[in-house]
Amino acid sequence: MAIFAFSVAPLGAGESVTGPVSEAVRIVRESGLPNRTTSMFTEIEGSWDEVMPVIQRATEAAGAEGHRVSLVIKADIRPGRTGELDGKVERVERRLADES
């Protein structure tokens, strides 16, 4: 299992990429895998075989109206662990609460 953070955007699409990025996020959300979208990245949790086709479809959707796409992927691969999309954040929040 792993958490993948990725950012995808079409190049040459003008100042706003809201439309193509929204389509990519829709694909991730419809995958049924745990996910979260922030201002810079979308995180998705699952196995390589589950997640990579979703990232591929999201990338293809984001670039459907253009000729070039920028894709950045970061992965935290931790076999045997699930629920880490929320678990990692919860552990940090607990630590911060304990320190105050």
For the record, the structure tokens of 88 come out as: 């990692």
Q: Is the alpha carbon torsion for 57, 58, 64, 68 positive or negative?
A: negative
Q: Which pLDDT does position 44 carry in this prediction? A: 98
Model pTM above 0.85: yes
Instruction: Write the pLDDT tens digit of every residue in 28-53.
Output: 999 999 999 999 999 999 999 999 99
Please report the pLDDT score of residue 59 as a whole number: 97
pLDDT tens digits along 5-32:
999 999 886 778 899 999 999 999 999 9
Structure tokens at 95: 């630590």
